Amino acid sequence: MIPLLNASGCLDALTAPEVARQLDAFVTKTVTPLPREGNPPPRIAETESGMLNSIGLQNPGIEAFLESTLPRLRGLGVAIWVSVGGFSAEDYAGVCEQLDDRDEIETVELNLSCPNVEEAPETAAQLVAAARLATRKPLYAKLSPATWDVAESARAVTDAGADGLSLINTIRGLALERSSARPVLARGPGGYSGPALKPIALACVWACAAAVDLPIVGMGGVASAEDARDFVSAGASAVAVGTALFVDPWTPGRIRSDLGGEGTAAVTTRRSAARQSA
Amino acid sequence: MNAKREPLAVVANEPVGPYALIRLERGSLEPGIPGQFFMLEAPGRLLPRPMSLCQAPPGELAFLVDPIGPGTRAMCAVVPGDRIHVFGPLGNGFNLDVSRPLLVAGGIGIAPMPYLAERLGGPPAIAGFRGDLHAEAARLLPGAEVVVEPRLVTELLPDERHDVLACGPEPMLDALRTLVPDAQLAWEAPMACGYGACYGCVVERDGRHVRLCVEGPVLQEAAA
């Protein structure tokens, strides 16, 4: 049984609860310390073999999230993963600390790699280390493929205390309007996702699975049961659906039935016992 | 969500001026409320395209498509017997509880008007187009008063108060926001999902980014 999740930012469980109920865990859109309206439109551009987005982490901020969003997510009956973002180690630690005592949250995913906002000055490992001190929740580090050696990043976040890896985030791309030769998206570049990402994501999963002993959620171009199996073959223990949810909200259910198992599966949220005691 | 997603067979693809009226078998999809939209598969492209329902003849759903890009051109090339996936109805349509309706359409913004006119029992309508070829689409809205550029549809607005229900290009809708603050306006935006997942289709209202597919596509600025 392959556990299925959504990729963060690709589903709102409050507007589409029946879509979220197809999943083994629902991953929220990234939550930051303060509310964010996100980037100006246009935010979406289709390309030849994928799409670009430049949403810019639009979210209500951690306080409104805890007060109004999270209580409504409880009723879903699906495990809740909260994606956490920020612009400094302090931001990540602060949000993690506020989430720590909320039992309805199963796992925290650290968005260390949004291509559409300014990056924190610290390294991914430093952000994980700061979050690790702030929460006992299982911590998944979501890494960018835009690095020469993703396995090196995986080792660093593992040493900093990550319990799992989410691979991969979108990769920065640009689409131009033919008539004006100007960028389609208001902010210029965006995060590239969809089918074109799959070989890149598989290479990252394969490299990280060889480098570290952490559970991996594989994502990037997953639209079918064959895609999901490929990610597991490369070393993932769970698979997330992103852009394919935009195309067809019933993609996870179709993948599950094509995989031949109707039941659901729990996602491994902790590093293996052997690793933890090492 | 009462929206469903099914592959629907193409019944006919009829040219209407520069546009294509794509008639599909209805399957088990509901036509919804005028102004709601459906995500239509664009053959050979990754993402579906949002289209408001144009006509709801028995057993069919019909969409008026303007071939302006690779996706809409692929949609306009479908032939009877093809099947395309359709997901909907989605979003919030027009509020039909109005006493003196007036339909205002600009260009391809005429798309939701035939179904809206049917549901409102044939209210008065005005429509503007960029030229005579595009104005051929006015035949979908019999009885409408029609102008072509350089005249603008807003010049046809009557003096007496009406409940304006409008769809058209952004400059037209922006003008109507000022001229008729309580108008119901159907907006459009690039959209990946159509059901609130992607946050791609936001428009700014009162300093906030609202998702057009969740809060709209029909927005009313001021209470009537």
Cα distance from B71 to chain A (closest Cα, Å)?
Answer: 9
Instruction: Convert the pLDDT of each residue in B134-152 to its tens digit.
Output: 999 999 999 999 999 999 9
> What's A103's DSSP letter?
T
Inform me whether the pLDDT recorded for B223 exceeds 70.
no
Check CB contact of B124 with chain A, cutoff 8 Å: no
Query: What are the domain boundaries of chain A?
Result: 4-39+57-177+194-277
The Cα B63–Cα B21 span in angstroms is 6
| Cβ–Cβ below 8 Å for B189 and A248 | no
ipTM of the complex, rounded to two decimals = 0.94
CB contact under 8 A, A44 and B214: no
B180-195 pLDDT, tens per residue?
A: 999 999 999 999 999 9
- In angstroms, the CA A175 to CA A171 distance is 13
Q: Which residues pair with A185 in a beta bridge?
A: A188
> pLDDT at position A44, please?
96
Alpha-carbon gap, residue B43 to A15, rounded angstroms: 27
What pLDDT does residue B38 have?
98
User: Annotated catalytic, A114?
Assistant: yes
For residue B200 the two structure tokens come to 């791609």
Q: Is the model's pLDDT at A97 over the cut of 70?
A: yes
Architecture of domain A4-39+57-177+194-277: Alpha-Beta Barrel (3.20)
Q: Looking at the partner chain, which of B193, B207, B209 has a beta carbon nearest the beta carbon of A246? A: B193
Chain B residues inside the 8 Å CB shell of A50: 46
* Window A:1-20, CB contacts with B under 8 Å: 9-12, 15-16, 18-19
Residue B174's pLDDT is what?
A: 95
| Residue B199 sits at the chain A interface (C-beta within 8 Å) | yes
Residue with tokens 């491994």: A268
pLDDT attached to residue A118: 80
Q: Which of A121, A115, A114, A125 lies closest to A153 in space, CA to CA?
A: A125
pLDDT (tens digit per residue) in A252-270: 999 999 998 655 677 777 7
The model's confidence at residue A115, banded by pLDDT at 50, 70 and 90, is confident
pLDDT attached to residue A273: 47
- CB contact at 8 A, A149 and A200: no
Q: Residue B192 is nearest to which of A12, A195, A246, comparing CB atoms? A: A246
SS3 B90: strand
B189 to chain A, minimum CA–CA distance in Å? 8
Fold assignment, B4-90: Elongation Factor Tu (Ef-tu); domain 3 (2.40.30)
For chain A, the average pLDDT equals: 93
d(CA B187, CA B204): 12
* Domain range summary for chain B, segments of one domain joined by +: 4-90
3-state secondary structure of A155: helix
Which residues does residue A51 pair with via DSSP β-bridges, in sequence order? Answer: A46, A193
Rounded to two decimals, what is the model's pTM?
Answer: 0.95
Average pLDDT, chain B: 96
CB proximity B196 to A under 8 Å: yes
Give contacts of A44 with chain B, Cβ < 8 Å.
Answer: 190-192, 198, 200-201
Confidence band of A121 (pLDDT split at 50, 70, 90): confident
Bridge-partner residues for A166, per DSSP?
A142, A217
Which residue from B1, B189, B208 is facing A41, i.e. has the nearest CB? B189
Q: Is residue A40's pLDDT more than 60?
A: yes
Residues from chain B that touch A11, judged by Cβ atoms under 8 A, are 197
| pLDDT bucket at A113, cuts 50 / 70 / 90 | confident
Q: What is the pLDDT of residue A117?
A: 79
With CB atoms and an 8 Å threshold, state whether A16 touches B191: no
Q: Reply yes or no on whether the pLDDT at A174 is more than 50.
A: yes
Cβ atoms within 10 A of the Cβ of A150, count?
23
Average pLDDT over residues A94-103: 97
Q: Is residue A274 predicted with pLDDT exceeding 80?
A: no
CB A24 within 8 A of CB A86: no
The one catalytic residue in A10, A96, A114, A208 is A114
Chain A contact for B44 (CB, 8 A cutoff): no
CB–CB contact B87 A19 (8 Å): no
Mean pLDDT score, A48-60: 96
Q: How confident is the model at residue B222 (pLDDT cuts 50, 70, 90)?
A: confident
Confidence label for A278 from pLDDT (cuts 50, 70 and 90): very low
Tokens representing B93 are 């349509």
Query: What letters, b where the CB count within 10 A reaches 16 and e where it falls short, cover B107-129?
Result: bbbbbbbbbbbebbeebbbbbbb
Which A residues in the span 221-250 are in contact with B, Cβ-Cβ below 8 Å?
243, 245-250
Residues 65-124 of A with CB under 8 A from B: none
Q: Which residue of A has its CA nearest to B208?
A: A37
> A58 and B196: CB-CB below 8 Å?
no
The separation between CA B175 and the C-alpha centre of its own chain, rounded to angstroms, equals: 18
Look at residue A266 in the predicted model and tell me its pLDDT.
73
pLDDT greater than 70 at residue B172: yes
A175 part of contact set with chain B, CB < 8 Å: no
Q: What is the mean predicted confidence (pLDDT) over A195-212?
A: 98
Q: Which residue of B has its CA nearest to A14?
A: B196
Query: How far is the C-alpha of B29 from the C-alpha of A87, rounded, in Å?
Result: 45
Please report the pLDDT score of residue A267 as a whole number. 77
CA A156 to chain B, closest CA, distance in angstroms equals 31
d(Cα A17, Cα A78) in Å, to the nearest integer?
10
Per cent of chain A over pLDDT 90 is: 87
